[in-house]
């Protein structure tokens, strides 16, 4: 999974890192918490679970049946799955080269990382965005100096503005993490997930 942008699989790993669950529960949680970057439900979710199980990132731990409902298999994340989740999340948070939807997904799941790991990844992202902005500024200046009218470079100005806004947001989150204002130790836990799932 680490070499592809598998947002559904990443979300499954994140949820199973909190507590074991079966695909129907995971589906309800995704819908109820508005993880709108996850598309193709429910088929994409079941395919992701099959794929993660085949890769030994999750394992079945129980099969149960309630009344006339179909059998439900509960899955738990493996140690390998935990490592994959942490590596992939850190990579997506730190690398501004990924598309914005992917970064939104990573931010949505940030609470499964230890705060120091999240902070380190976001600092790396801020530094990379600063470098990108400096390169964009140089490129825009060279085009302007060459006499190119602004209307022909307006899309570059748009991209620069988006990156500048993202940098400001990342810096605010880093500051909140550094000050302790934003913290989630003990917040993203089994009880919280159970509350959401029990409302489903």
Residues 41 and 132 in one domain: no
Helix ranges, 99-146 (H): 100-108, 115-145
Contact 129, 160 (CB under 8 A): no
Count of residues making up the chain? 200
Mean pLDDT for all residues in the chain: 88
* 99, two tokens: 């598309």
Model confidence at 193, in pLDDT bands (50, 70, 90)?
A: low
Q: Specify if 116 maps to a domain.
A: yes
Residues 194 and 164 in one domain: no
Model confidence at 191, in pLDDT bands (50, 70, 90)?
A: low
Cis before 189 (ω within 30): no
Domain ranges, residue 146: 111-179
Residues 191 and 150 in one domain: no
pTM of the predicted protein model = 0.84
Helix 7-16 vs helix 23-32: crossing angle, to nearest 10: 110
- CA 195, CA 114: separation in Å to the nearest integer? 22
Decide if pLDDT at 198 tops 80: no
CATH of the domain at 50: 1.10.10.10
Q: How many domains does the chain have?
A: 2
Scan for tokens 């994959």, then name that residue. 84
For residues 145 and 191, the model is more confident at: 145
Taking only the tens place, the pLDDT of each residue in 47-105 is: 999 999 999 999 999 887 776 767 889 999 999 999 999 999 999 999 997 688 899 99
- CA 61, CA 199: separation in Å to the nearest integer? 24
Model confidence at 185, in pLDDT bands (50, 70, 90)?
A: confident
Residues 165 and 87 in one domain: no
Q: Specify if 2 maps to a domain.
A: no
Residues 52 and 86 in one domain: yes
Q: Specify if 115 maps to a domain.
A: yes
Mean pLDDT, residues 150-167 taken together: 93
């Amino acid at each position: 999974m680490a070499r592809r942008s598998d947002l559904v699989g990443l979300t499954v790993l994140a949820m199973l890192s909190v507590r074991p669950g079966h695909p129907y529960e995971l589906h309800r949680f995704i819908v109820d918490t508005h993880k709108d970057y996850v598309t193709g439900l429910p088929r994409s979710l079941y395919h992701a679970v099959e794929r993660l199980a085949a890769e030994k990132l999750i394992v079945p731990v129980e099969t149960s049946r309630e009344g006339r409902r179909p059998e439900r298999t509960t899955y738990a994340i493996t140690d390998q799955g935990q490592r994959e989740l942490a590596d992939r999340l850190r990579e997506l948070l730190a690398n501004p080269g990924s598309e914005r939807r992917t970064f939104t997904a990573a931010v949505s799941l940030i609470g499964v990382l230890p705060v120091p790991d999240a902070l380190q990844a976001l600092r790396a992202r801020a530094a990379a965005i600063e470098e990108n902005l400096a390169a964009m500024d140089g490129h825009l200046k060279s085009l302007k100096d060459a006499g190119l009218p602004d209307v022909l470079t307006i899309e570059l100005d748009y991209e620069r503005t988006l990156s500048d806004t993202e940098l400001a947001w990342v810096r605010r989150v880093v500051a909140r993490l550094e000050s302790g204002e934003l913290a989630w130790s003990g917040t993203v836990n089994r009880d919280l997930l159970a509350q959401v799932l029990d409302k489903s």
